[in-house]
Amino acid sequence: MLIRHSFEDGVLHVSLPHDLDVTGRPVAALETELLVHVHRPRRVRVQLPTFDPSPAGLGALSRIRRLCEALGIPLTVVGPVTVVRRLTPAPDPAPDPAPAPGADSDPDPAFEVGDPA
């Protein structure tokens, strides 16, 4: 398959992994049409690979839109996903709490073990 897809909670998620050319346009549209007929989704979500798709990519999207419109299925189109990496280091875990002021680390002298004199 040219496209990637998943079906979750009644939503068909279709992802175009790269911008389409003239030969890929009809293939992507037909694959999406087949998935719509097989799954009968409540909604179709198409993720575009770029913010400025080629004319062939727009043509495939237009065919998918017409299909969804004819079947009464809402269509959502989203742009590419950006992966975000953390640029700052993660904060250190909280240090152990300091003893309370005036607290003595020595045990109470009344409980010392020793010779009874």
> What is the distance between the alpha carbons of residues 97 and 74, in angstroms, rounded to a whole number?
55
pTM exceeds 0.85, yes or no: no
Q: How far is CA 54 from CA 14, 63, 79, in A?
A: 17, 14, 13
Boundaries of every domain in the chain: 4-78
Residue 109 has pLDDT above 80, yes or no: no
- Render pLDDT for 28-43 as a digit per residue (tens, 0 to 9): 999 999 999 999 999 9
Q: What is the CATH number of domain 4-78?
A: 3.30.750.24
The pair of structure tokens assigned to 15 is 């992802």
Q: How many CB atoms lie within 10 A of CB 106?
A: 6
